[in-house]
Amino acid sequence: MDIEEFFHEKDVDDYVILNVSQAEAIAGAHLSDLLPDVKSIIIYAKQIPDFVFLIDSRLKTNYLYSLIKEMDRISYEFSASLNSEGFNTIPVPCFFPVKLEDGKLKGYVSFKHLAEHGGMGSIGLNSLLISEKYGNRLCLSGILTEKSFTVKHNKLKKSLCHECNRCVHSCPAKAINNGRVEMTKCINFSNQIPKLIRPLFNTFMKREPIKKYMETIINNLSWNIDMICSECLINCPYYNTTSKHD
């Protein structure tokens, strides 16, 4: 399988390849729990057009969910091709489902941390991956495979975030603190939960005995979240980075 050709055909903008030891050291995850004999992880990205974040929230949400599904289809096709070659390969969900760890929402693999380590970009104060070429409008996904690939790194000499705090000051929910976003404060998430029960909801998220039930509720809610806010993204200096769609 020619990765470069495959991603070119799928209009993928950038990708990095890490071996499993690198990935587990950076992501702090045991990837072998997902695929026992995993050798490589490929993280890839598509740039989202800038106009998407300026249109009606329902249209924006529909576009972004369609893109998530497209990324999952690309991962599935990639995996199917390698599986046919005799290498067990699985697509990692682009966005959903999420899981609960220590009361925090997390994906099954931290794409942005692996992408940062591979030199695709650096993580800003708003927790978004910033690419020198594609800005902060990247949708990330990944594939785990038993096939060994040559490690592919880009060159990134320094952090791209200016720490200008525009994202922090523009967040209407004050959800950005110390370089992380408190997802339960972000109005894209909290808007789905009645205000009166939000404290109770947050408490339940931290209770280990009911974690699985909370994960089920959250993942069901996730497919109905209206992406009404993009302030931390559009106020970042990297939002207007030149796009291939411009």
All structural domains of the chain with their residue ranges: 3-154, 166-233
pLDDT recorded at residue 242: 63
pLDDT band per the 50, 70, 90 thresholds, residue 8: very high
Please state which of the ranges 57-71, 154-168, 204-218 shows the lowest mean pLDDT. Answer: 204-218
In this predicted model, which residue has the larger pLDDT, 246 or 198?
198
Long-range contacts of 12-15 (CB under 8 A, 24+ apart): 12/44, 12/45, 12/46, 12/74, 13/45, 13/46, 13/47, 13/134, 13/138, 13/244, 14/44, 14/45, 14/120, 14/131, 14/133, 14/134, 14/138, 14/154, 15/42, 15/43, 15/44, 15/45, 15/120, 15/152
pLDDT band at 223 (very low <50, low <70, confident <90, very high): confident
Identify whether the C-beta of residue 199 lies closer than 8 Å to the C-beta of residue 162: no
Whole-number mean pLDDT of the chain? Answer: 88
Closest CA to 169 of 231, 116, 222: 231
Backbone dihedral angles phi then psi of residue 162, each to the nearest 5 degrees? -85, -10
Q: If we measure between CA atoms, which residue out of 29, 63, 70 comes closest to residue 78?
A: 70
- pLDDT for position 123: 94
Mean pLDDT of 127-153: 93
pLDDT confidence bin for 29, thresholds 50/70/90: low
Q: Which range (87-91, 109-113, 148-152, 241-245) has the least confidence?
A: 241-245
Question: Is 27's pLDDT higher than 70?
Answer: no
pLDDT at 33: 86
More confident: 11 or 1: 11
SS3 content of the chain, % helix, strand, coil (to 5): 40, 15, 45
**pLDDT score for 245:** 46
Under DSSP, the state recorded for 110 is -
* pLDDT for 246: 47
Alpha-carbon distance of 119 to 12, in angstroms, equals 16
pTM, entire model:
0.89
Helix (H, G, I), strand (E, B) or coil at 145: strand
Q: Summarize the confidence of residues 41-47 as an average pLDDT.
A: 96
Q: Across-strand partners of 15? A: 44
Question: Are 142 and 43 in contact, with CB atoms under 8 Å apart?
Answer: yes
**For residues 129 and 121, is the Cβ–Cβ distance under 8 A?**
yes
Residue 28 has pLDDT above 60, yes or no: no
* Joined tokens for residue 112: 């942005």
List, for residues 65-117, the tens digit of each pLDDT value: 999 999 999 999 999 999 999 999 999 999 877 777 776 777 888 899 999 99
pLDDT at res. 204: 78
Q: Given a cut of 90, is residue 220 above it in pLDDT?
A: no
